[in-house]
């Protein structure tokens, strides 16, 4: 659902005159408060083992529960994208990331609690302290490593992840 239809009252004064200002904001006609729905920052990791197989996670939660995914998640307040990437890897796989290297970003939409949240997904390559004893946790139900030439991007549940995986594979083949 578009945020402009979900929020009916001004969060500052409580007025019902909280109206659409433009495509990404609402304005209160009573107190002039303006609320913008800006993109949330998110991160995702391309992790390859010693055989250059890609780590693929199975999503444990909605949206897209049960589909393929990359390790990652939202960037918290007062956190860099690199810090978020390391934290998410630790939360989801119980392993430390030694290195994170930014690759590219893609816009995305994330469905949560009946709201479509715009995100800016930042993709990294990451090296781990070890690859054999990962522990699926948090949003990860399970994981596996797969050779790049056996990956079908359509198995990934989120739009930006599908596009990113296809781009990553194409770059590796060049």
The tokens describing 76, both together, are 């918290």
Q: Do residue 19 and residue 75 come from a single domain?
A: no
Residue 57 CB contacts under 8 Å (≥ 6 apart), including other chains = 68, 69, 70, 71, 92, 93, 136, 139, 140, 141, 142, 143
- Domain count of the fold of the chain: 2
Residue 107 CB contacts under 8 Å (≥ 6 apart), including other chains = 39, 118, 119, 120, 121, 160
Q: Do residue 106 and residue 159 come from a single domain?
A: yes
- CATH number, domain containing residue 155: 3.90.79.10
Q: Identify the top-confidence range among 16-30, 104-118, 122-136.
A: 122-136
Using pLDDT thresholds of 50, 70 and 90, give the confidence band for residue 114.
confident
Q: Do residue 46 and residue 30 come from a single domain?
A: no
pLDDT of 1 higher than 70:
no
The tokens describing 81, both together, are 């994208």
Q: Do residue 65 and residue 95 come from a single domain?
A: yes
Instruction: Work out the number of other CB atoms within 10 angstroms of the CB of residue 47.
Output: 24
Q: Do residue 91 and residue 53 come from a single domain?
A: yes
Q: Do residue 8 and residue 44 come from a single domain?
A: no
Q: Do residue 8 and residue 24 come from a single domain?
A: yes
Q: Do residue 110 and residue 26 come from a single domain?
A: no
Q: Provide the whole-model pTM.
A: 0.90
pLDDT of 143 higher than 70:
yes
* pLDDT tens column, 16-71: 999 999 988 999 999 999 999 899 999 999 999 999 999 999 999 999 999 999 99
| Residue 114 lies in domain | 40-173
Q: Do residue 13 and residue 98 come from a single domain?
A: no
Q: Is residue 170 within a helix (H) or strand (E), and if so which, with residue range?
A: helix 159-173
């Amino acid at each position: 659902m578009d945020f402009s239809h979900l929020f009916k009252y001004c969060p500052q004064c409580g007025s019902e005159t909280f109206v659409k200002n433009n495509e990404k904001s609402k304005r209160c006609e009573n107190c002039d408060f303006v609320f913008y729905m800006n993109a949330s920052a998110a991160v995702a990791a391309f992790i390859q083992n010693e055989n250059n197989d890609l780590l693929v996670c199975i999503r444990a939660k909605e949206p897209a529960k049960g589909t393929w995914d990359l390790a990652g998640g939202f960037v918290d307040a007062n956190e860099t994208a690199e810090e978020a990437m390391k934290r998410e890897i630790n939360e989801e796989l119980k392993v430390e990331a030694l290195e994170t290297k930014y690759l590219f970003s893609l816009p995305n939409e994330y469905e949560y609690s009946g709201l479509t949240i715009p995100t800016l997904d930042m993709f990294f390559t990451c090296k781990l302290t070890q690859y054999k004893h990962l522990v699926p946790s948090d949003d990860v139900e399970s994981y596996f490593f797969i050779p790049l030439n056996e990956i079908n991007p359509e198995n990934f549940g989120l739009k930006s992840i599908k596009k990113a995986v296809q781009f990553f594979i194409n770059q590796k083949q060049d």
